[in-house]
Amino acid sequence: MSIAFIDNLDLSVISTVFGSTVPIAPQIVIILAAILSPAIYLLTKKGKAVGLFALLMIVISGILTGVMIAQGENFYGEYAGLFAFDPFSGLMMLLFLAVAFITVLASLNYSEMTKYKGEYYALILGATAGMMFVAGSSNLLTIFVGVEVVSIASYAMVALKKNDPRAAEAGFKYMVIGAISTALTLFGMSMLYGVTGTLVINEIGPVINGLGFTMPVVIGLVSIIAGYGFKIAAVPFHMWAPDVYEGAATPVSGFLATGSKKMGFVALFKIFIVLFVLASTNLAESMQWTFAVIAAITMTVGNLVAISQTNIKRMLAYSSIAQAGYILIALAVMSQYAMQGAMFHMFTHVFMKAGAFVIVAALITAGLGERIEDYRGLAKRAPFMAFAMLLFLFSLAGIPPLAGFTSKFVLFSSAIYVDGAVVTDWIWLALVAILNSAISLYYYARVVKAMYIETGESQEKVKVKGVYTFTVLLCVIGVIVLGVYPGPLLELIGQAAGDLISKIPL
């Protein structure tokens, strides 16, 4: 019904308004919103007014992106040879817009939020635009610039938390680690440019696959892996994540865990999948084993260290590190099915992890602490929040029929079934992932035990503001629907993954 409605629309207005910039029209909407946000705050002196304006512009950009995806070939194309709108970039843009929507909604009444409301929402919108540009980039330089836009905005957002020295410390640590990441990434890209003479990813692939193991190629690829390894918090580049997630305002922590990290994966997918997925060289096989080892170590370290955490934000940070290890399976297997599983898990992770962070933010606003022991007896004090947290944690652990189980099933099985046939190369990686999911259930169950079995010092009801309840409800619906009825989204993701791979030059 909705598709028929879109088909009947006179969509020429989009081309008329945006002209040759149609492929980046959703980004333009978000950039305009970012520019106007401080001015709106100066005029109204109300942070909530800026937040509502940001939500409206995010929805407009999301509708525009959805219409462009639904119309397909009518809007697919490139802008300036640097950005492209296609099924892959369109879906990733919707993911980033969903993250921004949840983050802004959770920030409207957050008690620890900075007084710089106009600047805060402008930073969120600017970072979202940067993520969307990374999703549409077809050039190493534009990927780099998009990532840095997100990074710089993120450093500021982390440090903006009101009257908390931990936030300033976390922001400084994040900036220093980010600077190292930036230097490594730029150095790696410069090495590839020196060897190939181009920054266009599709043109780089055939050249380096022909060159094979030359020192500049290896140094360039390793530097890029290390640089973006920081962005996704893969081991051994993960040390910043727990401190930053703990020190930042909780909505910002959720934004980093669900948005910034996914942007890092999109950058890695656009670079390494395009460079190596159809290559049969020893270099391609070496890259696969490199990612496989990093994936196994990342998921194991993330889950094992999470067991000892007493602060729930630090526990969720190490959980995010483990989730990054799962998604890295796609870069080890490098198949369309693996890409489909990774992208689907990225979508489900947004609802699972964002929902958990929103609950943490809601409870902090209501006066609860960040320690796991502060959640004792929560089932009686805030029944809906406790039940929602149970759903999110069990979904993260992969308990059926929730979304986390479905996405993990697709992702893990991609290490066993490659091109429709059972292969033995990556069975060990699937087994490591399954074992780690079982380990994660232990520390998730600790929180559930505290909420439902243990008794807290206070029995007073926790008053949760309506905006948090609404945001958590949206995430709960997402976790249940994507777990029980994943077909439509999986089909769209499969088409997007196939489109990305089909554009790779032989």
**Helix (H) / strand (E) containing 421:** strand 421-422
Question: Do strands 417-418 and 83-85 pair parallel, antiparallel, or not at all (unpaired)?
Answer: unpaired
User: pLDDT tens for residues 1-11?
Assistant: 444 444 445 56
pLDDT tens-digit map of 312-330? 999 999 999 999 999 999 9
Q: Which residue has the tokens 């990556």?
A: 426
Q: Report CA dihedral (335, 336, 337, 343) to the nearest 10 degrees.
A: 110
Q: What percent of the chain has pLDDT over 70?
A: 92
**Total number of domains constituting the chain:** 1
| Residue at token pair 């009518």 | 74
**Could you read off the pLDDT of 407-449 as tens digits, one per residue?**
999 999 988 887 666 677 889 999 999 999 999 999 999 999 9
Tokens 């600047």 — which residue?
A: 119
Residue 84 has φ and ψ, to the nearest 5°, of -140, 145
Average pLDDT over residues 183-206: 88
Q: What is the pTM of this model?
A: 0.91
Helices within 24-86 (DSSP H only) = 25-44, 47-71
In this predicted structure, what is the pLDDT of residue 395?
93
Question: Rounded CA gap, 212 and 483, in Å?
Answer: 42
**Can you give the residue range of the structural domain that contains 305?**
2-502
